[in-house]
Amino acid sequence: MTLTDTPAPTPPSPEPPAARPIRWKEIVAVWLVLTAITVVGDLVVFPRVMPRSASTTMHLTIVTVVLFSVTAAPVGSLVYAGAVYALRHWRAGSGDEPPPEGPPYRKHNQLSIAWLSISAMLAVFLLVWGLGALAADNAVAQKATMTVDATGQQWLWTFHYPGTKVTTETPYLPVGRTVTFDVTSLDVTHSFWIVQMGAKIDANPGEVTTVSVTPTRIGDFDVRCAELCGLYHAFMTTQIHVVSASQYQSWLQTQELSA
Ligand SMILES: [Cu+2]
């Protein structure tokens, strides 16, 4: 080689392989399958992992959780369908790659209209259902025909029946009768929670908060503190016994006599 030689021209780099068109049918198929699996899971699993309802409030809570999950299933599944497609076809070494630029969604009026309409319908549906559920829950308080004072302290619950001398740590309630709990605390903030009845309200020192509930079946139901309140918070539990009206009356009389 001499100084006068011109360097050999570098060969043109090969054209990158053209991106294959997105297979929308595959994405839609994965989306439908994932949606179906999620909907079945919501309908079958949720009612089994949540406590069996023991009040009208808990029944409404379970229905709302399942309904909102089913409504969210197609939305979440669409995201996962896109992710599955990308992992399957666009991973390194797959010989395929995503298009260099996405389709111009902003100029795709039909897509924009469909996207906005479906999102708006879902949001309005959830809002209307949520407001209806809140109104139904508030209406429970209007039906209350008895009151029980529930007082939290580190680390136990004490219940007092107003108008009587009865104070107990394991209260009884008559089935089918709506009760309002007047809840307070003697020391720190606790949270009064009847698990299977879906009733929960903070217990604040110096304040009275209320929660109303209609027990719908006879049984023993868990009361827990749902606010971390100190060393033995986990042991701040008791049970509420829901019994027939006559059993409740005889329990109340026995308690009065022994008070
Ligand atoms: Cu507590």
User: What is the Å distance from ligand 1's center to 85 Cα?
Assistant: 48
Query: In angstroms, what is the span from residue 140 Cα to ligand 1's centroid?
Result: 25
Q: Which residues contact 82 (CB under 8 A, 6 or more apart)?
A: 27
In 10 A of CB 191, how many CB atoms?
A: 20
CA of 241 to the centre of ligand 1 (A): 20
> What SS3 class is residue 2?
coil
8 occurs within a structural domain:
no
178 shares a domain with 112: no
Q: Which residues have CB under 8 Å from 148's CB, separation 6+?
A: 159, 160, 161, 162, 171, 173, 179, 180, 181, 182
CATH code of the domain in which 215 resides:
2.60.40.420
Give the structural domain span for 109: 24-141
**pLDDT, tens digit, for every residue of 172-204?**
999 999 999 999 999 999 999 999 999 999 999
C-alpha 202 to ligand 1 mean position (Å): 10
Task: State how far the Cα of 259 lies from the Cα of 255, in Å rounded to an integer.
Answer: 6
Q: Are residues 39 and 102 in the same domain?
A: yes
**181 Cα: distance to centroid of ligand 1 (angstroms):** 16
Indicate the residue among 141, 157, 179 that finishes a domain.
Answer: 141
Same domain, yes or no: 47 and 84: yes
CA 189 – ligand 1 centroid, Å: 7
The model carries a pTM of 0.78
Domain ends where: 111, 141, 171?
141
Where residue 215 falls (left for φ over 0; alpha for ψ -120 to 50; beta otherwise) is beta
CA quadruple 135, 141, 144, 147: dihedral, nearest 10: 160
Domain count, the chain: 2
Judge if 130 and 216 occupy the same domain. Answer: no
Domain's final residue, options 141, 169, 186: 141
How much is the pLDDT for 1?
46
Ligand 1 centre and the CA of 91: distance in Å? 51
pLDDT tier, 228 (very low <50, low <70, confident <90, very high otherwise): very high
Answer yes or no: is 236 within a domain.
yes
pLDDT band for position 226 (50/70/90)?
Answer: very high
120 and 228 fall within a common domain? no
CA 192 to centroid of ligand 1, rounded, Å: 8
Ligand 1 centre distance from Cα of residue 96 (Å): 58
Share above pLDDT 70 across residues of the chain, in percent, rounded to a whole number: 91
Q: pLDDT tens digit string along 97-148?
A: 777 766 666 778 888 899 899 989 989 998 999 899 889 888 998 899 999 9
My answer on whether 136 and 235 are in the same domain is: no
Q: How far apart are CA 119 and CA 104, in angstroms?
A: 20
Asked if residue 118 and residue 148 are part of one domain, the reply reads no
